[in-house]
A = this chain, B = another copy of it.
Amino acid sequence: MEIRDIIPYAKGEREVDLLVTNARLINVFSGTIEPQTIAIAQGQVVGFGEYPAQEVIDLQERFLAPGLIDAHCHIESSMVGIREYVKAVLPHGVTTAVTDFHEIANVMGTRGIRLMREGMGATPFNLYCMLPSCVPATPLETSGAEIRAEDLKDLMAEEWVRGLGEMMNFPGVIHGDPEVLKKISMTQAHGKRVDGHAPGLNGKELAAYIAAGIASDHECTTRGEAEEKLNQGMYIMIREGSTAKNLEELIPIVTPANACRCMFVTDDRHPADLIAEGGIDHCVRKAIRLGLDPVIALQMATINPARYFPLPEIGGIAPGYRADLVVLEDLKEFRISQVFQAGRLVADNGTILPRVIDEKKVKAENTVHLPKFSAERFRITAQGARAKVIELVPQQIITKKGSHEVKTHDGLAVADPQQDILKIAVVERHKGTGNIGLGFVKGFGLKEGAIASSVAHDSHNIIVVGAEDEAMAQAVHGIAEIQGGLIAVRDGKTLASLPLPIGGLMSDQSIEEVRDALNRLHQKVKEMGCTLEEPFMALSFLALPVIPELKITDRGLVDVTRFEIVPLFGEA
């Protein structure tokens, strides 16, 4: 609303659209809970108290809080398009996400960011973006795009872009990589934020990282780490994702004196979790259960991120603010009943209301570009008795460098399901280079067949694990046929698959369908002998060469500690 239009509403001279009466308002400015009546016009809060109104909603002393803000997430991790993502989170009270389109950008570059934005349509949700800072994540892999500072110039000037996303290339910052510093300087010249990502960084290297202008961190895993970062002026984003869960460890560091520098983020949340537990509401709920004051927990999910970025129109309930409102049945269980976005009721009792989300399908675009090849490309000539083997660590995304005797056959090193030593390969799928990196992996437990995925952080090539070369080749070609996705193959047949035609990362179907398809896949992979709860998740992190110790990309096996491609045979 223009200023001149809001004034007559605020003065009570014009009938407002909605009056919310008998609320117990959680006032995130004052930190108090007060009985209140809230007047709303044209999607904005215009005043407190009695107003002439077209519609009145009596909250009967239920609590009213501002809409929740996810201060850092990758929407791609929900494996659905933005409309479906919003459909999942709105009933959970999340009305705003600050997302880093790091995944789609690795596949499609800045064009992917624009496509995601366009995918929003008229969805009632506040979408803000931090621009991916590290595409590709490393020079040891082939990604679909490379984003240089120059490429971010136009986007950085846009209002919905609030800065530069998690600067995971902390060695680049610390060593003064000119291209990295250029991205930081450009962001600062716009007065915008640079988010951090520096797990375990401390001491003088941390000082250098902070001095370079990195404002926040969401990778703290211990209290000591979070406290060091907080003391040195960083904003702390406490993360509770689907895999990375730091909330229980970190909540004890939050005090009334530092709370305004803390906020919640989900980073990566998968479809089943989003539907069942929610996103930021889950963080608030868990924090309250762990003993944090509910008002502080709500400040961390609303006004704190709004001030950090800043997002001046949201994060609180006061004249001039967007009327993003969450009605709560209680503060202890943090049960959400209604959710309003820009003054409009969008969800009730955990269910999105009809016609809130435009059902128009997202336009998918094939990003899987793969030359045809035969199973022979997966052959490994034995060049020694022992080979390096990627060893999974249960529930972790780190791996161990193993060294095992490999089974050979006619001079070829082959998979040995008896010993749980399987073949793993990463097939470049962006540019048709025909690159294939080959290796061995231990920990999946597959007895037969192969599984493959085009979700493979961060470059999202096709990653495949199998007991037989034929099945592996078939799985990879199967992925190409569905234009990206997840697949399980056995005995020459596709047992189950989940097409992810949006960048090979996201489905164009509903989030419930994605959840169900994933469940089916998990069931089939279990029948193939796999012992992992989330085999595709485990698979997706094996191509990420910034997480120790041994990983694989389309260029070959990567010793992460040495940060170089290493030969497959020989000791680890």
Contact = CB atoms under 8 A, between A and B. Distances in A.
Interface stretch (A28-36, A82-90, A465-473): A28-36
Interface stretch (A147-155, A253-261, A420-428, A445-453): A253-261
B233 A319 contact: yes
A185 B3 contact: yes
Given A30-B230, A230-B29, A212 B260 contact: no
Interface in A301-345: 307, 316, 318-321
Assembly stoichiometry (copies): 2
A173 B7 CA distance: 8
Interface residues of A, number: 57
Given A30-B257, A205-B11, A258-B31, A318 B3 contact: no
A48 B255 CA distance: 22
Contacts of A6: 208, 211-212
A276 interface: no
A48 B210 CA distance: 12
A233 B3 contact: no
A49 interface: yes
B7 A176 contact: yes
B11 A208 contact: yes
B48 A232 contact: yes
A12 interface: yes
Interface string A194-216: 00000000011101101111000
A144 to B, nearest CB: 29
Contacts of A252: none
A248 to B, nearest CB: 20
Q: Find the residue from A47, A49, A174 having the highest chain B CB count within 10 A.
A: A47
A184 interface: yes
A8 B6 CA distance: 51
Contact of A316 (B34, B203, B212, B233): B233
B208 A257 contact: no
B184 A3 contact: yes
Given A3-B181, A4-B176, A231-B29, A207 B34 contact: no
A498 interface: no
Interface string A171-182: 001101010010
Given A3-B213, A181-B4, A213-B320, A32 B231 contact: yes
A296 interface: yes
B258 A318 contact: no
Given A11-B205, A30-B257, 6 more contacts: A4-B181, A10-B207, A48-B207, A49-B203, A191-B191, A233-B320
In the A-B complex, list the 10 residue pairs whose CB atoms are closest, starting with the nearest.
A31-B257, A233-B318, A47-B207, A256-B256, A10-B208, A211-B319, A10-B207, A260-B260, A211-B320, A210-B319
